[in-house]
Homo-oligomer: A and B are copies of this chain.
């Protein structure tokens, strides 16, 4: 009660939780009408924006720190998928009421991730409204080096980082479920780690790349559509984590990996001539990387399992008109 429960006005929210001094490439930070930033000489600007709304993108009751983390993570993941270096972010935050404990945890989650990746919060807007936020991340890339979705060619390998499927399992696990595996999966849902260093390293190696947010199968379809290609994929090669296998079993784990979403892993294609380079590079990464198929002429992804066509239910969430999330 008292001060801890008091609502804060906008100026206090900004100065207490988000404002940081300028300096370096931040000519002018938070607090004026706009931020002024200095892009490294000879680099292109890369921009991504993503909105998160309570009950749509995260369940009611999600810890404030996880929401702050996620708001930035999903955008960093977009920049990673371009092979870009993130530099700055802006935040528009709507809150039904501005309470200090929530804001403190939210900004801690956002700041920890920002500091981990050298990203500076340079602008924002805080308003009264239903719990939701939009982060815009700004970064840079060498001209001509951004990795788009449309560069996959027949013969390229199809690759994915990390363990897709963990996040959706972490989200769907009953609240009463305890133990190390459950905790690990929940952490993967609540605190996705954008593959920023991996994405940057893949510029010059990957022929096409995107991040996995709506589910591996659905997102792969987008990449192949943009590239005008098909792909033969081995569902048996999907890199399922040990916690996912123990909690969900192999078949349900596979379906989580294919249709779950919220993974924020990188999905990319690599020409055969660069595969050895990729393997050497990936040996030093903190996340695994798996080759799950090969790009072919044609249209769309074709999954098989033990040399037979593999069919599964596509429960991927679609934002509009697609029904509820799984």
User: Interface on A for B, CB 8 Å cutoff?
Assistant: 6-10, 13, 27-28, 31-39, 44-51, 53, 56-57, 78-79, 81-82, 84, 88, 90-95, 97-98, 122-130, 132, 134, 136-139, 141, 143, 146, 148-149, 209-211, 226, 318-322
Contact = CB atoms under 8 A, between A and B. Distances in A.
A12 B210 CA distance: 19
Given A123-B48, A130-B130, A320 B33 contact: no
Contacts of A49: 90-92, 123-125, 134, 136
B132 A94 contact: yes
Given A37-B44, A47-B122, A28 B146 contact: yes
A146 to B, nearest CB: 5
A53 B319 contact: no
A281 to B, nearest CB: 21
Contacts of A6: 321
A46 B144 CA distance: 23
A130 B53 contact: yes
Contacts of A44: 27, 36-39
B81 A34 contact: yes
A246 to B, nearest CB: 32
Nearest to A90: B49
Contacts of A31: 226
The residue in A31, A34, A125, A318 that gathers the most chain B C-beta atoms within 10 A of its C-beta is: A34
B8 A56 contact: no
A98 B33 contact: no
A320 B98 contact: yes
A160 to B, nearest CB: 15
28 contacts: A7-B320, A9-B318, A10-B319, A27-B44, A27-B146, A28-B148, A32-B148, A33-B209, A34-B47, A34-B78, A39-B45, A45-B45, A47-B88, A48-B123, A49-B91, A49-B92, A50-B92, A50-B125, A51-B93, A51-B94, A53-B128, A53-B129, A56-B127, A56-B129, A57-B127, A129-B132, A134-B134, A134-B136
Chain B CB within 10 Å, residue with most, of A37, A39, A127: A127
B45 A36 contact: yes
Contacts of A97: 320
Interface centre among A47, A129, A321 (most CB of B within 10 A): A47
A90 B132 contact: no
Contacts of A90: 47, 49, 136
